[in-house]
């Protein structure tokens, strides 16, 4: 009888451990997938804003609207500045997720590299965003400030090399 109780206890422990592990893995996958979906929703929201308010394309240095729009309009300047902050807030959320909320696995590293390329692409095309970040290094935590500083220095070195 004692052996039966021991066997039942061991089997119960093993089933509980396996169930716990499966639940843990499922939760990790669910958290990552939910975050990726949320990040993409925020990016789609930016696309929607650009469709609804095409004057915001003027934040991009090389976009035709950046030259045509009335840059003297304080209302337009405020809208464009707010839109840049929308992007920067998205990047803050993404940086926080990949550097604070999870331990990156191989897929996370690929996702973060893709986001890094997107952030770099945005900053290359928007000098106003680069200037906003430069004024705000002290507001970011050390790691994120270093990330932005390194990225902006790279962009500015490439830009100065192109001018030469």
Distance CA 36, CA 40 (A): 6
Q: Where are the domains of the chain?
A: 37-163
Asked whether the beta carbons of 90 and 123 are under 8 A apart, the reply is no
- Reported as a single tens digit per residue, the pLDDT across 8-46 is 888 888 989 888 888 888 888 888 889 999 999 999 999
Distance CA 42, CA 22 (A): 30
- Reported as a single tens digit per residue, the pLDDT across 106-139 is 999 999 999 999 999 999 999 999 999 999 888 8
User: Where do the H-state alpha helices sit in 53-101?
Assistant: 64-68, 74-96
pTM of this structure: 0.83
């Amino acid at each position: 009888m004692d052996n039966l109780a021991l066997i039942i206890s061991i089997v119960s422990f093993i089933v509980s451990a396996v169930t716990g592990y499966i639940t843990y893995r499922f939760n990790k996958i669910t958290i990552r997938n939910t975050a990726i979906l949320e990040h993409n929703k925020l990016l789609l929201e930016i696309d929607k804003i650009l469709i609804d308010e095409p004057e915001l394309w003027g934040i991009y240095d090389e976009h035709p609207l950046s030259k045509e729009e009335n840059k003297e309009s304080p209302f337009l300047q405020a809208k464009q500045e707010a839109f840049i902050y929308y992007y920067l807030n998205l990047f803050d959320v993404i940086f926080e997720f990949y550097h604070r909320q999870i331990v990156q696995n191989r897929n996370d590293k690929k996702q973060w590299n893709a986001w890094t390329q997107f952030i770099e692409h945005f900053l290359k095309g928007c000098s106003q965003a680069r200037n906003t970040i430069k004024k705000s290094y002290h507001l970011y935590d050390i790691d994120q400030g270093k990330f932005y500083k390194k990225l902006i220095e790279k962009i500015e070195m490439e830009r100065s090399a192109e001018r030469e």
